Amino acid sequence: MRLPEALYTAAQVRELDRLAIEERRIPGAKLMQRAGAAAFELLRTRWPQARRVAVLCGTGNNGGDGYVMARLARAAGLTVNVLSLGAVEKMRGDAAAARKQCKSAGVAIRNFQTDLLAGHDIIIDAMLGTGLEREVEGEWRAAIEAINASRIPVLAVDVPSGLNADTGHVMGAAVRADATMSFIGLKAGLFTGAGREHAGEIFFNDLNVPPDIYAGVPALVRRLTETSLHGLMPGRRRDMHKGDAGHVLVIGGDRGMPGAARLAGEAAYRAGAGLVMLATHPEHAAHISTACPELIVHGVATPEELRPLLARADVIAAGPGLGQGAWGDALFGAALDTKLPMVVDADALNTLATDPLMHADWILTPHPGEAARMLGMTTEQIQADRFAAVRELNASFGGVCVLKGAGTLIASLYDGVVSVCDRGNPGMASGGMGDVLTGVIAGLRAQGLISPVAARLGVWLHAMAGDDVAASGEIGMLASDLFPHIRGRLNRLVRHAGG
């Protein structure tokens, strides 16, 4: 089943469950049977050779799903060992019934012990799902750490145990799954922060609930997908000229830091800008121009020298290599005085951290460290709840905020929706990648896309290009390796949209 765009919190999925059970009269036990069957089907298709299955079951409905899977695995002739955790005598309702049925089917059920994991081909993690309500401790933590140390493949049921379904934060310890099958509603925490590290490949099954129940629970988080980004790029008239494709002015490159500004400038061209000007420190204007002759490079020492360039720009990209000295502050200040749309990154964000200004139309692109400085928090606090952080940044600074990192988030005051990019890879954690993103977003904005659209499309193109480059390995990727793939992905998007 294709992954839906809509992502939900645990509470929202519980509401969807309630609607299905109470208003559509689908018994919870039936949903549990369907969940167990769907997850077992995934087990068979993804690990067809697996014969010896360890199913770790908690005491709630997540565990109930696991008991259903164990019964089905035994009926299919697999060797199954259920290892249960928690106070099983307190089990009630559907989960208790599933455990009873599993026992009646002759499945071996024992209390979890670390040494019982060895010798299995696959581990099913059905300990904790959306009911996780505190840090894992004791036998739960021991089980999670034993699973992660065992190096046995893991299929997580609904949510990897120990992972916060809303934020992707690890609550003490969390299972590192090779695959996670999530039910009824995809949980937002699987797609950002530590979620991406722990969920493995994500699968979804709607358990065949009536589609109209989703209308009652509006998703506030949405995945970026190629489909959702189709048709956003303006067409290109045969008689258009470079002015029609927009003028970008990159402001950056203080003494000794020419590279960032140059990368942002070239990226703006790769995203389709008609003309890209670069206002940089006079000492390296000449050789940036040699390195990339398409850039209109100006050595600028003062705001007065910057003004003629501001007058010709449609969009400003401020920050790449801007530095935090008087030169950069003066030029950034002059840019803020205009009403031009801006993409603000890197050192210019650090200026905002100390001098929280506002601007009519900007896209801020902090990484977690810059976000922490902007909000007066620690990076750990930002990463502990990235959704809350990006919403707070957006509420504090307005416009559009792009919180970079695994599972980049985009929040926009224009529509209140947070978008998640579930593409990109660790190979992109290298110098210059952020400068390229800044340039791509500015290049799209210059072609007339409104800021929330330019930010979403830019983040998606940048991540897809990074995945294209990583197809030949994630180690040793250069930011400039992305350029041909950004262009390729953008033209493919336009072609498929019939643009």
* Residue ranges at the known binding site: 61-65, 125, 129-135, 158, 161, 260, 321, 367, 404-408, 434-435
89 contributes a contact to ligand LP7C6HRI by CB under 6 A? no
Residue nearest to K ion (CB): 161
Question: What are the phi and psi torsion angles at 9 (to 5°)?
Answer: -85, 165
256 SS3 class:
coil
Q: Are strands 179-183 and 154-157 parallel, antiparallel or unpaired?
A: parallel
| 86 vs 443, beta carbon nearer ligand LP7C6HRI | 86
* Residues 298-317: x where in contact with ligand LP7C6HRI by CB under 6 A, - otherwise, as a string: --------------------
What's the CA angle centered on 423, arms 420 and 427, to 5 degrees? 130
- Applying CB under 6 A, the span of 132-140, 193-201, 236-244, 374-382 interacting with ligand LP7C6HRI comes to 132-140
Classify residue 476 by its DSSP letter. T
449 contributes a contact to ligand LP7C6HRI by CB under 6 A? no
Per the structure block, which two tokens stand in for 265? Answer: 């400038």
Q: What is the rounded CA–CA span in Å between residue 435 and residue 423?
A: 18
157 contributes a contact to ligand LP7C6HRI by CB under 6 A? yes
134 binds, among K ion, ligand LP7C6HRI, none (CB under 5 to 8 A by kind): ligand LP7C6HRI
Classify residue 234 by its DSSP letter. P
Among 61, 81, 130, 161, binds K ion (CB under 5 A): 161
- Least Å distance, CB 58 to ligand LP7C6HRI, is 5
31 contributes a contact to ligand LP7C6HRI by CB under 6 A? yes
157 contributes a contact to K ion by CB under 5 A? yes
- Applying CB under 5 A, the span of 152-160, 221-229, 376-384, 472-480 interacting with K ion comes to 152-160
Among 55, 65, 317, 401, binds ligand LP7C6HRI (CB under 6 A): 65
Among 61, 180, 419, 447, binds ligand LP7C6HRI (CB under 6 A): 61
One DSSP character per residue, 19-59 reads IIIIIS---HHHHHHHHHHHHHHHHHHH-TT--EEEEEE-S
| 93 vs 476, beta carbon nearer ligand LP7C6HRI | 93
Neighbours of 37 (CB within 10 A): 16
60 contributes a contact to ligand LP7C6HRI by CB under 6 A? yes
- Range 21-60, binding K ion (CB under 5 A): none
- Among 130, 161, 167, 133, CA closest to 147: 161
> CA-CA distances (angstroms) from residue 87 to 28, 127, 129, 158?
21, 12, 16, 21
Helices in 60-209 by DSSP H: which ranges?
Answer: 61-75, 93-104, 138-150, 195-199
> CA-CA distances (angstroms) from residue 172 to 141, 465, 483?
8, 34, 40
Q: What is the rounded CA–CA span in Å between residue 339 and residue 360?
A: 7
164 contributes a contact to ligand LP7C6HRI by CB under 6 A? no
- Range 259-288, binding ligand LP7C6HRI (CB under 6 A): none
| Residue that the structure tokens 């360039």 belong to | 309
% helix, strand, coil for the chain, step of 5: 45, 15, 35
- Least Å distance, CB 102 to ligand LP7C6HRI, is 15
- Least Å distance, CB 101 to ligand LP7C6HRI, is 16
- Among 74, 176, 189, 196, CA closest to 123: 176
What's the CA angle centered on 366, arms 224 and 400, to 5 degrees? 55
- Least Å distance, CB 107 to ligand LP7C6HRI, is 19
| Residue that the structure tokens 């401020």 belong to | 318
180 contributes a contact to K ion by CB under 5 A? no
- Least Å distance, CB 28 to ligand LP7C6HRI, is 4
- Range 106-125, binding K ion (CB under 5 A): 125
Q: What is the rounded CA–CA span in Å between residue 326 and residue 188?
A: 42
| 57 vs 264, beta carbon nearer ligand LP7C6HRI | 57
Q: What is the rounded CA–CA span in Å between residue 318 and residue 253?
A: 10
Per the structure block, which two tokens stand in for 424? Answer: 């990109």
- Least Å distance, CB 40 to ligand LP7C6HRI, is 12
Feature table: binding site for AMP: 404-408, 434
Neighbours of 294 (CB within 10 A): 10
- Applying CB under 6 A, the span of 1-9, 96-104, 114-122, 156-164 interacting with ligand LP7C6HRI comes to 156-164
> CA-CA distances (angstroms) from residue 89 to 60, 92, 95, 104?
12, 9, 12, 17
213 contributes a contact to K ion by CB under 5 A? no
User: For binding to K ion (CB under 5 A), which residues are involved?
Assistant: 125, 129, 156-157, 161
Interface positions with ligand LP7C6HRI (CB under 6 A):
17, 21, 28, 31-32, 35, 58-63, 65, 86, 128-134, 136, 140, 157-159, 183-184
